[in-house]
Amino acid sequence: MWQKLSLRARINLLLALLLALGLAVNIGRQVAEAGPRVQAEDQSVIRLAREFIEMIVADLNEAPDPDARLTRIARDFSRLRHVSIALKDSGGKPLTPPRPDADDDSHGPPAWFVSLVHPEQTAVSVPVAIHGEPGSLVITSYPNDEIAEIWDGIVTQLEVGSVIALVLFLVMMTVIGRALAPLRSLAHMMEELEEGRYQARIAPGGAPELAAICNRLNHLAATLGEAVEDKRRLAERAVSLQDVERKEIARELHDEFGPYLFSLRAHASALAKQADGRLPSADAVAKHGGAMLEQINALQQFTRRVLQRLRPVGLAELGLGQALESLSRLWRESHPDVTIKTTISPALGLTGETADLTIYRTVQEALTNAFRHAGATAINVVIEPVEQPPRDGRGCARVRVSDNGRGMEPGQKLGFGLVGMRERILALGGTLNVISGEGGLTVEALVPTAAA
């Protein structure tokens, strides 16, 4: 039952219980104090009445008619609220009528309260002379009035306390309801986020703590929206980059592989014609054979270059250093006038397959841009560990590829290759920056590694 109640209902219920408990404790205290209070009042009234009557009785002998004076005294004192006074003869027979309301409980407190208080009546006797005979004035405590006063006070306390408690409960319920109102909006916004509507926002309100939660949730929604949008753009860019890479490979196959095959076919046809003749020319056969060997060698280099772009040959088998050396050798063979220096720090250690491939691709893309666009004559490749606290148990490798080319024009955007590489490194938790200056272009990347 308790678990099914909302936070607002729980607070309101606890508040109601506390108010009811406070009222019950106050009423219980008054009930517990009723008995001693009645007893003390009875004793005080009896003592005062006795002293007063003894003082009056002492002056009876000086009255013209002592008996009449005594009867009047008994009649007058019977009107007192907390005591009753009766004139009795020597045999204990009452000589004055009893108090009219002595036995009237129709308008008094309930019987259970009277029995709960259970007052003990106190009676004292003051000896007097009645018609020359011994008699007495009997003073008896009459606590019903005091009990009625206490009961009326309890009823009044209960009524007034209930009204005050009800008003306090309503006021607190309103205050709590307004203070917790943002919780409903928070729950609704979380449902919106679950359904993918990250543009939803909530107006901060309520207590400062709830307002802070609202602001944090709005920030979270904005961050999630940006992350989802970045993911969508990354997916689109990945598909676009794949298409661009396929188009480049297709163009290279068409522009280079096709002519080589056509040339090989032409030379093969020429050799076939020489074979058909009765006296084939040795010079012609050597010429066509040498040309075919050159075309085949060029085809092999072209195939190796394409394979390097698709999947680095020997990266997993030989390691990162040998794979980068093979990549540099291919570029040096096709561009012998460009100097390429590769330095891998011995402290780098094992970086993991994913990091190795990312480092390789970064260097490959930087070299490709340097040879295609920079017009550089010297390229320096440095790979070293980064001395910083590891994140999530991983270290980080710095990849820096610098050239002495002409750099980038002001406002020039990065090509698809570097943009795709940056997004790939960002997905791994790293960074990639391109710094262009008068001394050339520098591509610097921080790649998370598997080693701590």
User: What is the model's pLDDT at position 241?
Assistant: 67
Task: Tell whether 216 is covered by a domain.
Answer: no
The long-range contacts involving 150-159, CB below 8 angstroms and separated by at least 24 positions, are 150/30, 150/34, 150/37, 150/38, 150/109, 150/117, 151/108, 151/109, 151/110, 151/113, 153/30, 154/27, 154/30, 154/31, 157/26, 157/27, 157/30, 158/23, 158/27
DSSP structure class, residue 443: E
Cα gap 437→406, rounded to integer Å: 8
| Domain count for the chain | 2
Q: Does 224 fall in a domain?
A: no
> What is the chain's length?
452
Q: What is the pLDDT of residues 283-336, one digit of tens each?
A: 777 887 888 888 888 888 778 777 766 666 667 677 888 888 888 888 888 888
Q: Which two tokens stand for residue 316?
A: 């997993």
For residue range 138-193, what is the model confidence (pLDDT) as tens digits?
777 677 777 778 888 888 888 888 888 888 888 888 887 777 777 778 888 888 88
Kind plus residue range of the DSSP H or E element containing 49: helix 7-57
Report yes or no on 282 lying in a domain.
Answer: no
d(CA 320, CA 263): 37
Residue 445 sits in a domain whose CATH number is 3.30.565.10
Residue 1 confidence (pLDDT): 64
Q: Rounded distance, CA 77 to CA 72, Å?
A: 9
Q: How far is CA 434 from CA 375, 399, 415, 440, in A?
A: 17, 12, 11, 11
> DSSP readout, 134-146?
EEEEEEEE-THHH
Question: In this structure, is residue 290 part of a structural domain?
Answer: no
- For residue 232, being part of any structural domain is answered with no
Does the pTM exceed 0.75? no
Structural domain includes residue 389: yes
- Which of 179, 205, 232 delimits the end of a domain? 179
pLDDT value, residue 452: 45
> Which stretches in the chain have pLDDT values below 50?
102-103, 390, 452
Chain centroid to Cα 220, Å, comes to 11
DSSP 8-state code for residue 409:
P
Which range marks the domain in which residue 339 is found? 320-452
With respect to residue 262, please indicate whether it lies within any of the assigned structural domains.
Answer: no
Whether residue 102 lies inside any domain: the answer is yes
The enclosing domain of 61 has a CATH number of: 3.30.450
Q: Which of 143, 161, 179 is the last residue of a domain?
A: 179
Predicted local distance difference test score (pLDDT) of residue 382 = 92
d(CA 403, CA 140): 121
Which residues lie below 8 Å from residue 325, measured CB to CB, with a gap of 6+? 342
**For position 186, what pLDDT does the model report?**
81
Task: Provide the 10 A C-beta neighbour count for residue 350.
Answer: 12
Element (H, E) at 154: helix 144-179
Contact present, 367 and 448 (Cβ < 8 Å): no
- pLDDT at residue 88, rounded to an integer: 66
Burial class (CB in 10 A: 0-12, 13-18, 19+), 351: buried
Phi, psi at 141, each rounded to 5°: -70, 145
